[in-house]
Amino acid sequence: MKKQLLAIFALSFLISSNTSFNNEIKDHISEEKVIAVNDSTQAKEFWNKLKTLKGKAFEGQLVSAQANDDFSGKKLVMYVLYADDETILIPFNVGDNRSRTWILKCKNGRIELKHDHRHEDGSKDKVTMYGGTSTNSGTPNMQVFPADEETVAVIPAAFSNAWWITVDSTSYTYNLRRLGSDRVFTVSFDLTKEVEIPKPSWGWENYR
């Protein structure tokens, strides 16, 4: 009889322990889900702000750049060519140079920034598709993109690059900082004044 009582007590203890353990696991999983949702929400708010700019073009001003920068003294125009829940395409024209397009991708609650560079005939430049993916949720107004492995392969010196984009109701800024150097670049676009839609970026003439 004593053995039976001991067995029943042990079984009850195991069931109780497993229930407590299972509840702990469930709580942990639920907490992770909440964190994941919160993380993706920040990025999604940022994404949705960019989506509202679809079909619009804006002129920018150079805020920070090296003295001999190729952007100085030239008309700078960004045009949000395309935007859906997964992809945003933003041609960035520098004077008559239409070689640049920023490509943003939304993946698993994170945002990827890539730089598409083309020649005038539409062929890809040998230095293209560099950039990075946000490593955290960022904020609704700012996302940061540290250099990825593809960037290191294309531009070894850019291993410490960090790009970031900010957006609010009045401005959009594109920024670059190369850590460990004095390389800083910032261009700010006035979102309160639309400008004429520019000619298509090279290689994107037939994009719809």
> Which CATH number does the domain housing residue 122 bear?
2.40.128
pLDDT value for 144: 98
pLDDT value for 18: 46
Q: Which residue has the tokens 């401005």?
A: 171
CA–CA distance, 99 with 170 (Å, rounded to integer): 26
Segment-wise mean pLDDT, segments of 10 residues, the chain, 208 residues? 44 43 40 43 94 97 77 93 96 96 94 97 97 95 98 96 97 95 92 96 87
CA–CA distance, 11 with 184 (Å, rounded to integer): 66
pLDDT value for 40: 61
Q: Which residue has the tokens 């959009």?
A: 172
pLDDT value for 208: 65
Domain annotation covers residue 30: no
Q: Return the amino acid letter for 206.
A: N
Q: What is the dihedral of CA 197, 202, 206, 208, to 10 degrees?
A: -50
pLDDT value for 207: 81
- Cβ count near 2 (within 10 Å): 6
Domain count, the chain: 1
Domain annotation covers residue 38: no
DSSP character at residue 200: P
Domain annotation covers residue 201: no
Non-local CB neighbours of 165 within 8 Å, separated by 6+ positions: 113, 142, 143, 145, 172, 173, 174, 175
Domain annotation covers residue 33: no
Which structural domain, as residue segments, surrounds residue 153?
Answer: 49-194
pLDDT value for 110: 94
Domain annotation covers residue 108: yes
Domain annotation covers residue 81: yes
Q: What is the dihedral of CA 104, 87, 195, 192, to 10 degrees?
A: -80
DSSP character at residue 70: T
pLDDT value for 104: 98
Entry pTM: 0.80
Domain annotation covers residue 7: no
Domain annotation covers residue 170: yes
